[in-house]
Amino acid sequence: MPKPFLLVKIMLFASLLSVSSFCYAEQSNTDKADALFTLINSGTVINNQTLNTYIERLEAIIAKDDTSRQLQLTRVRCWAFDPNEADQLSKALAFAQHALTKPDLADFPSHKLDLELCQAWFTEQNGDVELALKGYNKAVNDAYALEDLRLIADARSIRGYLNSYQGNFTQGLEDLITSQSLYQSLNLPAWVKFNLYEIATSYRRFGDQKNAIRYYKKLEHSYITDKDFDAAIAVTVSIAIAEEELGNLQTAKKLFEQGYLYWKANKQELQQARVAVNMAGTLIKLGDFKKVNQYLNEAEPFILPTDEAFYSFMHLFRAQTYLANGKLIQAHESLALARAAFKRVKNIRGLAELQLVESQIFLSQNNWQQAYRALNEYVKQHKELDLKRLSSYTTEMRTRFNVDQIEAENRHLIENQRLKEIEFAMLEQNKIQQGIIIFLGSFLIIIISFFAYKQSQKNKLLSELALTDHLTQLPNRRYIYTKAQRCFEEAKKTQTPLSVIIFDADHFKLINDNFGHEVGDHALVLLADTCREILSSEYPTARVGGEEFLIILPETDKAQAYKIAQNLIKTVCEANFCKFPRGFALTISAGVAGLSTTDDKLSLLLKKADDALYQAKSNGRNQVKMS
């Protein structure tokens, strides 16, 4: 669903101390302006009327020749357009396009980048999702190049939301979790809450409803404590969606009604209409089609085609109502409107649901061939979503294990930003105090040299960490693939044997579900220790996924590799699990492949091993199979 709050993106520059009574009045105005920018930047200004009042104040106190603050004000104006109001989208895009032509932006790359991000966001709201995503990708890359922490967090948060909505949960979670860390480092509690809402929503979308509800309830309580009831009711509606997906339909209905009545009492017709669409989906599952029509009829005047998220589901639910009443032609017409909206935003989840409804309509028309095709398309799209969800669980685990590395990288960025702010403040103040330029310059050089030396030491450490798995202390995927490529090329060149073993833990999800993630972590460490115990140092071993490991065996044929894999499986199965909880057991399955004359790429060799692993899993697990 679309974000419930207007995104307001601003970069705060350090205020300067007054050093002369001559410029006291001007300095006082810049202090007031910076204080307003700070307030807007904090994320607490979510009311457009209040924001426009602040803009008017800034226009009155910022000097015309104060280029930096004038550009900051331009950024605020860009984000102040309300996409829910008529003509505001086109006005916002025209404003951003014109603002980006200002020649002064060449000297202020952060201002320019934020305007580009604003333009991309309104492009998304206008329905051109593909172009918006290109803009987000560019913004993320440029923000890292500038080492602008706030813009990195904002760009990845916006991109993470879009990827999550489209069903690309892996990229979505990576972006949102990275943004969360940065917002916390920047001490922006309002944006921490907002981003946590998006993380919870991502959990909900890929099926982890219990975790989603846990995060939602924590946010709901926080917003109620802060007396931010609009935000609290928005979270309540999200909890209702999660409860519906858990099958708790009566609970979901009750929560939707709570949100519906709240927005109705506050005369927020658009928000009321959006909750009405959600309510319709629950009522369909309860079979109350009479009330479904009532809610959809109420919502339809307010849900415009530009509001794709709700527009698409509104017509999908309308099609289901027509189907229930036997109006099959009208059902197809509503599905056509829903399909166009889903495709515009590339919502695979919505398209999958649509295909299932379409198959039921064709079935009611006795059009067996079209019904089969629609159902087959539903299965294909559902498989694609399942793969993305599985990838997201892997991403979540990988991100948890790399928390220290993420924090170290963020500290490096924060230190660099603080140095830039210190340097900027000193240069501004030295316009009046020219006599101490040489002294301060020398002092800065010493500081920068010191931090440069410290940073070079950190970079060495980060380089090592980048090639090591944090949990198991084995090499990681990046290292082992580089090593495997070298071994592959050497084996092809010298005509010597080369084998690989891919293995992973059996039923690892059940271990995490039954005993907890901490026990799962200990199990992965045990597998790593077993590899170190059995394999010699000439056989590189690495953890390449959540519970998946890869072993490279140079100058080893497939038969020898098979024996090594058997030994590994036996050792794990017979391991001493006394330090684990009662009832704990662990086995692994492995696939073995050897280099053949037809293998002209490393990926072919790895795929053979991976296929063999799949066969081992299919044949009952706790065994090894050769390709």
pLDDT in tens, 503-553: 999 999 999 999 999 999 999 999 999 999 988 878 899 999 889 999 999
- Going by C-alpha positions, the residue among 596, 566, 359 that lies closest to residue 499 is 596
User: Where is pLDDT greater, at 462 or 556?
Assistant: 556
Alpha carbon separation from 300 to 269, 270, 478 (Å, rounded): 11, 10, 51
Confidence of residue 16 (pLDDT cuts 50, 70, 90): very low
Place of tokens 């998304």: 124
Q: Where does 474-516 have alpha helices with state H?
A: 477-494, 508-515
Q: What is the pLDDT of residues 409-450, one digit of tens each?
A: 556 666 666 666 666 666 666 665 666 667 666 767 887 877
Residue 26 reports pLDDT greater than 60: no
Q: Would you say 295 and 280 are in contact if contact means Cβ atoms under 8 Å apart?
A: yes
Alpha carbon separation from 264 to 28, 260, 269, 296, 619 (Å, rounded): 44, 6, 7, 15, 58
Residue 358 bears catalytic tag: no
Q: Active-site residue among 174, 198, 358, 547? A: 547
DSSP 8-state code for residue 22: G
Helix (H, G, I), strand (E, B) or coil at 475: strand
DSSP 8-state code for residue 590: E
pLDDT for the residue 389: 54
Q: What is the pLDDT of residues 176-206, one digit of tens each?
A: 888 888 888 888 888 888 888 888 888 887 7
Confidence of residue 12 (pLDDT cuts 50, 70, 90): very low
d(CA 367, CA 383): 25
- Sequence-distant (6+) residues with CB within 8 A of 281 are 244, 313, 317
pLDDT for the residue 337: 93
What is the homologous superfamily of the domain 477-626 according to CATH?
Reverse transcriptase/Diguanylate cyclase domain (3.30.70.270)
Confidence of residue 451 (pLDDT cuts 50, 70, 90): confident
Alpha carbon separation from 427 to 72, 417, 420, 441 (Å, rounded): 20, 15, 11, 9
Amino acid letter for position 477: R
- Going by C-alpha positions, the residue among 200, 209, 169 that lies closest to residue 348 is 169
DSSP 8-state code for residue 14: P
pLDDT for the residue 258: 94
Q: What is the pLDDT of residues 577-591, one digit of tens each?
A: 999 999 899 999 999
Residue 347 reports pLDDT greater than 50: yes
What's this model's pTM, rounded to 2 decimal places? Answer: 0.53
d(CA 77, CA 179): 24
**Topology at the third CATH level for domain 1-205:** 1.25.40
pLDDT for the residue 387: 61
pLDDT for the residue 45: 65
Strand 498-505, strand 624-626: pairing:
unpaired
Q: Would you say 451 and 415 are in contact if contact means Cβ atoms under 8 Å apart?
A: yes
Q: Where does 246-268 have alpha helices with state H?
A: 249-265
Q: Would you say 39 and 142 are in contact if contact means Cβ atoms under 8 Å apart?
A: no
d(CA 102, CA 108): 11
